[in-house]
Structure 1
Amino acid sequence: MDSTRLSRRTLLGIGASTLPVALAGCMGGGGDGGEDRPENTIWVGPDNQLIFDPDSLTVSTGTEVTWEWKSNTHNIVVQSQPDGASWEGTEGGESNTFDTGYVYSYTFETPGTYEYDCAPHRQQGMVGEIVVEE
Structure 2
Amino acid sequence: MTDASPSRRRFLRAGVAALPAVLAGCMGGGGGDSTSTREPGTVAVGPNGEFVYDPKELTVAVGDTVTWEWESNTHNIVVESQPAEADWPGTEGGATKTYDEGYTYEYTFEVPGTYEYYCSPHRNVGMVGTVVVEE
Does the alignment pair 1:54 with 2:51?
no
Match in the other structure for 2:64? 63
Any stretches of 5+ residues in structure 1 without a counterpart?
Answer: 1-29
Deviations 1:42-68 (A, max 9, x none): 000000000000000000000000000
Q: Aligned ranges for residues 1-134 of structure 1 at < 5 Å?
A: 36-134=37-135
| Residue identity matched to 2:87 | S
Normalising by structure 2, what TM-score?
0.73
- The Cα RMSD (Å) is 1.8
Deviation at 1:35, TM superposition (A): 8.0
Any stretches of 5+ residues in structure 2 without a counterpart?
Answer: 1-32
Distance 2:79 2:36 in 1: 28
Distance 1:53 1:126 in 2: 10
Deviation at 1:83, TM superposition (A): 1.1
| Residue identity matched to 2:63 | G
| Residue identity matched to 2:104 | V
Deviation at 1:36, TM superposition (A): 3.1
Q: Describe the shift of the 1:85–1:35 C-alpha distance in structure 2 as closer, same or farther (beyond 3 A).
A: closer
Aligned residues: 104
Name the SS of the counterpart of 1:129 in structure 2.
strand
Distance 1:112 1:85 in 2: 9
Q: Could you tell me the percent identity over the aligned residues?
A: 59
- Which segments of structure 1 move beyond 6 Å, counting only runs of 4 or more? none
Deviation at 1:116, TM superposition (A): 0.1
